[in-house]
């Protein structure tokens, strides 16, 4: 059984950041006219995502530090064709 990019990303986030809440939303359909999407994007068009995550690992870190950590986690996905990632990162209580 093939695991979708969205499912793989969700799993990585839960493991790497001990996340209390994780939501990965595939927004690729909103970009149907986008050149990357039209060009036979890999993974069935899974190219644009929105990530919402709440993790105690983000406490005391700036938004930039949080985003860098998430982006680094997804280096493999970016190399394989993920084109855009919107991030909403919070620590518990924020």
Q: Structure pTM?
A: 0.82
User: How far is 63 from 52, CA to CA, in rounded Å?
Assistant: 13
Residue ranges covered by each domain of the chain: 5-90
Q: What is the pLDDT of residue 41?
A: 46
> Do 21 and 57 touch, CB atoms closer than 8 A?
no
Q: Tell me the CATH number for domain 5-90.
A: 3.30.300.90
Task: Give the burial string for 38-50 (b: 16+ CB within 10 Å, else e).
Answer: eeebebebbbbbe
Q: What is the pLDDT of residues 73-91, one digit of tens each?
A: 999 999 988 888 999 999 9
Task: Please tell me the predicted confidence (pLDDT) of residue 38.
Answer: 45
**Cα 93 versus chain centre, distance:** 22
Helix (H, G, I), strand (E, B) or coil at 81: coil
């Amino acid at each position: 059984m093939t695991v979708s990019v969205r499912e793989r990303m969700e799993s990585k986030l839960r493991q790497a950041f001990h996340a209390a809440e994780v939501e990965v939303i595939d927004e690729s359909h909103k970009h149907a006219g986008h050149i990357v999407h039209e060009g036979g994007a890999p993974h069935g068009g899974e190219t644009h995502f929105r990530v919402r995550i709440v993790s105690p690992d983000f406490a005391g870190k700036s938004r930039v530090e949080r985003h860098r950590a998430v982006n680094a986690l997804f280096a493999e996905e970016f190399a394989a064709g993920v084109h855009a990632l919107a991030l909403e990162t919070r620590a518990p209580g924020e």
